[in-house]
Amino acid sequence: MNILVTGGAGFIGANFIFYLQKMHSEDRIVCLDKLTYAGNLSTISATLNNPNFRFVKDDICSREAVFKLFEEEHPDIVVNFAAESHVDRSIEEPGIFLQTNILGTQTLMDACRTYGVERYHQVSTDEVYGDLPLDRFDLFFTEQTPLHTSSPYSASKAGADLLVLAYHRTFGLPVTISRCSNNYGPYQFPEKLIPLMIANCLSDKSLPVYGKGENVRDWLYVEDHCKAIDLIVRNGKVGEVYNIGGHNEMRNIDIVKLICRELNKPESLITYVTDRKGHDMRYAIDPAKIHAELGWLPETRFEDGIKQTIKWYLDNRSWWNEIVSGEYKNYYDKMYGNR
């Protein structure tokens, strides 16, 4: 198999490359990544010399670059992770989200139609379903839940999902879509809740919790997500959507307190700051379909996954120190300076 992984220098894409190399070492992997602020070549540096691996720095929105790559590689499978992925940034600057997340998806699918693929897989998010209320813990997102987005990020992901399904119905493109809940694990950019709190704790900086910290997310260890995508791409039904999540709901404030405890830092570091605009209250996935059809279940318990993740950030300070001391520092000062 020749597998094109877009966005493979980012958090989940890189972990997916590692997963493929562990489980299917016979496959050739081509990684296409623009290396935006969120992409980091050092994450995949150990694999750059692997003869079964090729890295290409380019933009999924560039028709010329994408078609040239398909002409050279003729991928059998395309897994599209490339996206602008941070909700807070989408509130500051929506345009790039529409461009990359919707038009980039279109460009990739046009190349798939032209050159032919066995599968185009779109990595989507549970955020396309909007949010659930905090007083109805009996409700979950299923694949039938209507799309109802809150942020420019989630709207752009929902737009892409609709386009993917349209390309299947209109052009017969063999597509699948997965909608996953919040991931955590190694190599996550420290603008997201868990790595941001770990990095700030380790630097004795304040821990900025939005609003009252009561928002609930359904956390999944990144390797479990990678396993689910691999199963869908190889055994999932064309034209179908699969929800991925772990029945592991936690309030933000409880996560932050847990990180403080694990790192022996005082809870007095916690600072409640102005809430995110349009902040979704609760996400919760019903993963019954992927369990019934593909036998997938999350394997990593949160208690273990969070310890492994904290240990990874302790052992790999240089990876994230480089990020927090570079261009990201300006972003942090802008977003949190007067919050």
CB of residue 116 to ligand DAU, shortest distance in Å: 30
Contact (CB, 8 A) for 252 and 182: no
**Which of the listed partners (ligand NAD, ligand DAU, none) does 289 bind, with a CB threshold of 5 to 8 Å by partner kind?**
none
Catalytic hit among 19, 120, 129, 153: 153
Residues within window 82-101 making contact with ligand NAD, judged by CB under 6 A: 82-85, 100
Catalytic hit among 33, 59, 127, 224: 127
Phi and psi dihedrals of 217, rounded to 5? -125, 155
Residue among 181, 248, 300, 309 that touches ligand DAU (CB under 6 A): 181
- The reply on whether position 225 binds ligand DAU by CB under 6 A is no
Structure letter (DSSP) for residue 268: G
Residues within window 31-60 making contact with ligand NAD, judged by CB under 6 A: 33-36, 38-39, 59-60
3-state secondary structure 117-172: CCEEEEEEEHHHHCCECCCCCCCCECCCCCCCCCCHHHHHHHHHHHHHHHHHHHHC
Euclidean distance between CA atoms 310 and 305, whole angstroms: 9
- The reply on whether position 86 binds ligand DAU by CB under 6 A is yes
CB of residue 150 to ligand DAU, shortest distance in Å: 10
DSSP helix/strand/coil, 198: helix
- DSSP for 21-82, please give it: HHH-TTSEEEEEE---TT--GGGGGGGTT-TTEEEEE--TT-HHHHHHHHHHH--SEEEE--
- The reply on whether position 182 binds ligand DAU by CB under 6 A is yes
Candidate segments 21-29, 75-83, 257-265, 291-299, binder of ligand NAD by CB under 6 A = 75-83
- Does the annotation mark 240 as catalytic? no
> Shortest CA distance to 324 belongs to which of 333, 312, 311?
333
Nearer to ligand NAD, 256 or 269 (CB): 256
Euclidean distance between CA atoms 337 and 243, whole angstroms: 37
- The reply on whether position 193 binds ligand DAU by CB under 6 A is yes
Nearer to ligand DAU, 192 or 227 (CB): 192
| Distance from the Cα of residue 118 to its chain's centroid | 23
CB of residue 301 to ligand NAD, shortest distance in Å: 18
What does the binding site for ligand DAU look like in residue numbers (CB under 6 A)?
A: 85-87, 125-127, 181-182, 192-193, 196, 208-210, 215, 217, 252, 276, 283
Q: Which residues are catalytic?
A: 126-127, 153
